[in-house]
Chain A
Amino acid sequence: MFGIGLLKGLFTTLKNLLGPVFTVQYPNKKVGLIGALKFHKKTPFQFLKSQPTEFIKSLAGLHEVPEYPSQATRFRGQDFNWFEDRCTGCASCAKYCPLGIIKIETSPSTRDQKEGSSYDIDVFDIDIGRCMFCGLCVEACPFDALHMGSGFERAHEKRKGLVIPVDELRTAIKTPSTWFRPQMESKSYKPREKESEIKDSQDIGRHEQPSDEELTERWVNER
């Protein structure tokens, strides 16, 4: 009978209408009082005292809290993480970048000639305005000094603002992505959260730090 197919289709759409919601309201979602208290981790009284207007808004279900889509730990994003102690200034990353957007300038170090400190890095600029986040720089790094980040929001008015200068790389909170760094893949590690910051560069990376004797043997006696 003509129309059976249409009715079947309408039944399917009805089923989907009543099903669970799949959409994520990025960047902000509107929540009620319970959702707001859950997000701010406050009692109703504390919330009323600190943000009275927001409290009234939340009663109407209009309080806005940030909402992010779920993200895998391997997500390749911006805000590159760079560990200066591990970097030798070999420029492997700059060489393997398909677009040539990493700029490195080094000068001879005044410190003792240990592995990883024989050169000072003066300039380490990454122009992420042209970056395509393929991750080849991270893959090429022999000392695990450069890591992908996990952010994706870096809008700027000028192209210059899209260049990550070396000072920003030095001072940034280091929560690298686990792309090509399988040693960091554990259930508890979440790259987007500040608690999982990696403070010591020796915690990260595939290689053990060589001892001083080893370094002298390798870099002084053999030469």
Chain B
Amino acid sequence: MSTELVTMNIGPIHPSTHGVFRMRVTFDGETIIDAEPIIGYLHRGSEKLAEERTYTQIVTLTDRMDYTASMTNNQAYILSVEKLSGITPSDRGVWLRMIAAELQRIAAHSVAIGFLINDLGAWHTPLLYLLREREKILELFEMMCGARITNSYLRPGGVFMDAPDEFWPSLNKFLDDMPNRLDDIENLLTDNEIILARTQNVAILKKEDAINASITGPMLRASGVDWDLRHRNPYDYYEKISFRRPLGTVGDNNDRYLVRLHEIRESLKIVEQCLDLIEPGPVKPEEVPFLVRPPEGESYVPIEAPKGELGFYLVSDGGISPFRCHVRAPSLINLTLLRDMVIGYKIADLFVTFGSIDVNMGEVDR
């Protein structure tokens, strides 16, 4: 029987597109023939705006790129500025921002898993369990830096202010409590037959394809490639920390979910190790001015953000603001494989695959 192909627009305003993402999808019945991502609905020109702001002011712009992982955005940017201007950060500042970054990774992965399961049709119950845990992290951030999402906590040379006294007991309480909550999530989701049926062997991403498309982050590790910049190219003090890197075997949607879940556990261990190693001291070197003025040059420091390799390429002409700022956004590059991953699968798998990539439109469009 001859059938007619149907082209359908999905988004930009659609609850399952995680923001303002639009796909033009061609279906043959329920099977996807072609999927074309259309981006740019959340373009704010952050890179251009950065050219007319001072180095400290740009920290506030980086918060708004990947708004589920502001701390790691801050970290990537600050590392790049420190390399550019030759600032040696103070010890306590580095430990504090590592703790903040790992907590942010837990929060970002919680959001990723929650919305992935939400897209599967588990309407809100698992998502709210995970958002409840994320809320505790946001409260910790609020204690640390006064804001929950748009933190702007880091400054060239460390962090702007030490964490308050009430932060440490709350953090310890969270670290004690979180493994039990994760067990709950695993009980709820990992063995669930419906989730297994929907995610196993769907949208398989092979190792070679992932490497060829420069996929990074949990998505690459789910395909079985042992590539974690915290281990391969340690920044900050990650070489003093030991942690396992969970790897997937198949590279399907279930692996991408499991890798994120195990990474949360590893992040908890990293925070515990940081707590053992942190020592009192200044959080920022005294000599670092508020108005950083780096010499002429360029710098790029990649870090392992929750979504993959994130780096800021900064070019300085010796002024108070960068001559050029370019962001290597993991979400954008991970999104490039969406088309290849979903072709041949059903329409219901499209959203699950999109959720498992874990893109953030704020970071894709910048």
A residues with CB within 8 A of B? 2-6, 8-9, 11-13, 15-16, 22, 70-76, 96, 98, 132-136, 139-140, 148, 177, 179-180, 182, 185
Distance A37 CA – B60 CA, assembled complex (angstroms):
45
How many inter-chain contacts with C-beta < 8 Å in the A-B complex?
Answer: 84
B152 touches A134 (CB 8 A): yes
Chain A residues with Cβ below 8 Å from B161 are 180, 182
* B150 nearest CB neighbor, chain A only: A132
Distance A4 CA – B190 CA, assembled complex (angstroms):
11
B150 touches A9 (CB 8 A): no
B139 touches A70 (CB 8 A): yes
A98 touches B53 (CB 8 A): yes
Q: Which of B57, B60, B142 contacts A74 (CB 8 A)?
A: B142
- Can you spell out 11 A-B residue pairs with CB atoms less than 8 angstroms apart? A8-B191, A9-B192, A72-B164, A74-B144, A76-B146, A96-B290, A136-B57, A139-B160, A179-B146, A182-B162, A185-B164
Distance A3 CA – B290 CA, assembled complex (angstroms):
60
B139 touches A72 (CB 8 A): yes
Interface size on B, residues (CB 8 A): 36
A134-B60, A180-B161, A182-B162 known; A4 vs B191 contact (CB < 8 Å): yes
Least distance between A163 CB and chain B CB atoms (Å): 21
Lowest 10 A-B CB distances belong to which pairs? Answer: A5-B191, A74-B146, A76-B146, A98-B57, A72-B142, A134-B60, A9-B188, A179-B146, A72-B143, A12-B188
Distance A49 CA – B339 CA, assembled complex (angstroms):
70
B residues with CB within 8 A of A? 53-54, 56-57, 59-61, 125, 129, 132, 135, 139, 142-147, 150, 152, 160-162, 164-165, 184, 187-194, 196, 290
Q: Which of B125, B146, B165, B290 contacts A13 (CB 8 A)?
A: B125
Chain A residues with Cβ below 8 Å from B160 are 139, 180
Task: Name, among A76, A180, A185, the residue most crowded by chain B CB atoms within 10 Å (CB to CB).
Answer: A76
Distance A182 CA – B283 CA, assembled complex (angstroms):
13
B139 touches A2 (CB 8 A): no
* A142 nearest CB neighbor, chain B only: B290
A16 touches B146 (CB 8 A): no
Chain B residues with Cβ below 8 Å from A133 are 147, 150
A135 touches B193 (CB 8 A): no
Chain A residues with Cβ below 8 Å from B56 are 96, 136
* B167 nearest CB neighbor, chain A only: A72
Least distance between B123 CB and chain A CB atoms (Å): 13
* A150 nearest CB neighbor, chain B only: B146
Least distance between B52 CB and chain A CB atoms (Å): 10
A148 touches B150 (CB 8 A): no
A73-B164, A98-B57 known; A15 vs B184 contact (CB < 8 Å): yes
B60 touches A136 (CB 8 A): yes
Chain B residues with Cβ below 8 Å from A185 are 164-165
